[in-house]
Amino acid sequence: MLHILPASKNPLKYISSGHLLSNDGFLHPRRNLDTHVLLLGLKGTMYITQGKTQWQLKPNTYIVLFAGMEHYGYKPSEGELSYLWCHFQTKQRNPKFLHTDEVINLINNTSNENRDNMLLDTYILSEFGELSDHARVELCYHQLLDIAREKPYSHFISDYALSLLVLEISNQYFCFATSNAIERNKSKQRITEIIEWLRTHHVEDCSLQNLAERFHYHPTYLSAAFAKNTGLTLVRYVKKLRIDTAKDLLLKTDDTVAQIALASGFSDDKTFMKAFKEYEFTTPSQYRYSFSCTRINKE
C-alpha cells in the first residue's frame, strides 16, 4: 500500500467535493487526474483499481486516489452505493511515495520528541484505510461540504476545512500504527518470557493448555502469537528443546535410551525415538555411537 506525507504547515488546496449516490451498477470511469481524490465510504461497496491494486470502498473505510495514477472501476456496485468525494492538491506536486512498512517504521522508530513534531508537520495520506472513529471523519466531511456550498468570502476556509478533515484521518492512522506497535511489543515480550520459561522447564508439562493458564492467555491466541513470533508451533518448539536435551545426555551419560527419553520430557521411549529420528534422521543409539567414534578418531 502506498502513502504520501506532505507537510501540514501548508493547508491542502481544496478543488471540489460532493456526495455520490447510486441505486445499482455504478462503475467508476477510467481516469488519470492531476488532483488527489479522497473517498469516504458510507453505504454499499465500490470496486476500484489504482495502479495494479484493487480496492473496495466500504462503510468506515477511505481511499485516496493519487494524482498522476490511473484509476478505474473493476466491477459494478451491487445495490445502493453512497460515498463522499473531494478533489484536492498538495503544495508538493510530486510527492515521494512510501510503502506501509516505511511509514510504520518512520512513526515507531522516531523519538517521542520528534514524533510529536511529526504529528504537527505532516499529513498521512494512505491509499486505503479503516477508520476507528468514522463519525468524527464524517462530521468533518459534511462541514467541508457545507462550507464549499456556501461559497465563502475566502477560498482558504475550504482549504482549512479540508486540511482539518485530512488531519483527523491522519491522526486516526497514527494512533492505529502506534497502538499496534505497542501491542506487538507487549506480545513479543510475553512470548520471550514464555521462551525463557521453556528453556528451563521444557521437560515438564508444556501443553498449550498448561502454558495458556500459566501465562494467562487464551490457548488459541497463544498458539497464533507463539508461531508468529518464533516461526514454529509450540509443539515443535518444545520438541526441539527436548531433542537437544536428549542429544546432550546421549553424549555425556551412560543412561539408557528409555531413561533419557523420560529425562528429556518425553512420555516414553517409543515417542522419543520417533521424534529423534524425525529431527536428526538417525536413531538415538546410532547418534551416540557416531559421536563416540568421532571422539576416538580425534584422539
Lowest mean pLDDT among 64-73, 130-139, 159-168: 130-139
Instruction: Kindly indicate the confidence band of residue 299, based on its pLDDT and cuts at 50, 70 and 90.
Output: very low
Global pTM reads 0.59
Residues forming a β-bridge with 126 = 3
Instruction: Kindly indicate the confidence band of residue 296, based on its pLDDT and cuts at 50, 70 and 90.
Output: very low
The pLDDT of residue 216 is above 50 = yes
At 179 the pLDDT is: 63
Structural domains in the chain, CATH included, are 2-182 (2.60.120.280), 202-299 (1.10.10.60)
- Grid cell for residue 72: 478505474
Task: Give Cβ neighbours of residue 5 (< 8 Å, ≥ 6 apart).
Answer: 95, 98, 103, 106, 122, 123, 124, 125
The DSSP bridge pattern shows strands 128-130 and 53-57 to be unpaired
The pLDDT of residue 188 is above 80 = no
CA dihedral angle for residue 54, residue 58, residue 61, residue 63, rounded to 10 degrees: 40
At 163 the pLDDT is: 93
pLDDT digits (tens, 9 = 90+) for 204-213: 888 888 888 8
At 29 the pLDDT is: 94
Question: Averaged over 59-84, what is the pLDDT?
Answer: 94
Instruction: Kindly indicate the confidence band of residue 124, based on its pLDDT and cuts at 50, 70 and 90.
Output: confident
At 295 the pLDDT is: 43
Instruction: Kindly indicate the confidence band of residue 298, based on its pLDDT and cuts at 50, 70 and 90.
Output: very low
